[in-house]
Structure 1
């Protein structure tokens, strides 16, 4: 996907080259970073993303002007996910730091350090619709350090009998950790499945004190 690098896109480079001379000492990475930042400022970027190292592995985080739209777990293919985001939202995708991405990276660090119990960054729900979005909104309300059953979440989303559909919504949650689908467990006490793997789900619940470490 060529638009992940603004200097590969003739439309972007043509629009941005004026007024952005690089000094002889600038390396190409710095030039690219300046191009990307200017692209965001000029409204030429619909999705910005950065990679973030965390205690559970590398995370890829994507944001639109409305908020964080996708968080990619280590078990996922980050490039394939980014392609899907481009197809669903816009091909104007660029790796660049934005205030929203800087904020969520800071909040994730605080969360993994045990200093944050809720995320304050705005979310963009564009990648979930209808009942799936209602399931995720209900999931977002599960308090830190607690769990809820799949049936409870389905009920809170408006359809107590749609447990299987609720499970599908959680399995395809585009905003894991931020929308804490790891807090949804089976009614028999089993952890249930998780996009990042059961081991990661167990680790997140232990971090929050919902289960024994």
Structure 2
């Protein structure tokens, strides 16, 4: 699935009414098979996974962020409409609109911008790398305007060291060693990342698949 395209899985729509069971722990109510749409959204250097559960039989609409339930509406007679919420001061809206053939279309807006436009513009200001070491995923995001570095959504405070032609920034997590390199080139500054001495390819936000972003 393209990073820019929400997933629409009609086969996952509930066939019978399902009541949300409040007595169950939240992690037991979180069922990926029920989601009809999912978006991976970078906001202020952090990656957020937004998921929508829309039961056309039960009338239920639920929104989850990084596996945590933030909106729940049960037994809604109106199956279309919108829900709004905030992520780190960014205003998000999920719209449910009718589609031909008794189907539904799901859209996400961030600060008034459609998801595709928002992601495309943001891709110009970020550099992103994703790697897995010993079955642990590490997401490194560099904000080009502020030079802030985020590791698994946590802001790092390490300072770069001047080297010939640029800077190197070193940091470590769980014994894994990271080296973020910035070098001058004819086209400006080129950034690269080494993890335990190995060069990691950069990930394009536009082409990022949801399968590349593990649950947090």
Per the shorter chain, which TM-score range?
under 0.3
More helix per residue: 1
| Higher Rg | 2
TM-score norm. by structure 2 comes to 0.26
The structure with the greater share of residues assigned to strand is 2
